[in-house]
Amino acid sequence: MKPLDSYCALLFHEVALEPGLQYNRKLDMFEGFEDYGGSERKASFADHALVFMLRGICRKWKQPIVFTFCKGTTSTPRLTSLLMDVILQVKLTGLKIMCTICDQGATNQATINSLLRETEQNCIRQSIDNRHFGFVIDGEEIIPLYDFPHLLKGVRNNLLAKDLHFVQDGIEKMARWRHIEQFYLSDKADHELRLCPID
């Protein structure tokens, strides 16, 4: 494998499940309970699955690597621990995780913030400047990214409900949903050069 082919992104996402039980004959066990891998199972019905997947950055490939099943959303301490474990195990394979990608769920944000704080604290303990944009695990910097479609949806939802006030070059400005509508209508009227050809 070429070095660039090993560069990848670690995606993680939690989805809701319909609780239920199923007997697995091969494993001689019931599935549908909370299960974090190994011997860590609980006798409560799982209603969420947490999925970790790797995706190539320089080469097109993707591979789901870990599934856990939980009741309710995964807690921040558990997600932080799982994320660190997955990163360390992936590193042993020779793959290089460059970034993580997730949505802006409260637990995801808290986990990322926890890892960023831990990196900052490690730099303070070592008396070095924190020049990292991301968090560091086992000597490797990993950049946390938020899923772009979710970011767009968040901006849209916020602009539909309220105006965005900001300062640019010392001048206070405002963005409104109406500005996006005006841009779209103006762009749609130009048949030669479309900047956002939606239809």
Q: What is the mean pLDDT of residues 171-198?
A: 87
Query: Taken in order 160, 164, 168, 170, is the CA torsion positive or negative?
Result: positive
Q: Which pLDDT belongs to residue 163?
A: 94
Q: Which two tokens stand for residue 23?
A: 């007997």
CB 99 within 8 A of CB 11: no
C-alpha distance from residue 40 to each of 36, 53, 107, 192 (Å)? 6, 21, 21, 61
**Is the predicted pLDDT of residue 25 greater than 80, yes or no?**
yes
Give the tens place of pLDDT for each residue, 131-184.
999 999 999 999 999 999 888 898 899 999 999 999 999 999 999 999 989 998
State the CB neighbour count (10 A cutoff) for residue 74. Answer: 25
DSSP string, 26-64: TTTEEESEEE-STT-EEEEE--EEEEEEEEESSS--EEE
Residue 22's pLDDT band (boundaries 50, 70, 90)? Answer: very high
Q: Which pLDDT belongs to residue 41?
A: 85
In sequence order, the β-bridge partners of residue 144 are 100
**Is the predicted pLDDT of residue 199 greater than 70, yes or no?**
no
pTM for the model stands at 0.81
Is residue 38 exposed (0-12), middle (13-18) or buried (19+ Cβ within 10 Å)? exposed
Give the tens place of pLDDT for each residue, 41-52.
888 999 999 999
Coil/strand/helix, residue 9: strand
Q: Which pLDDT belongs to residue 190?
A: 79
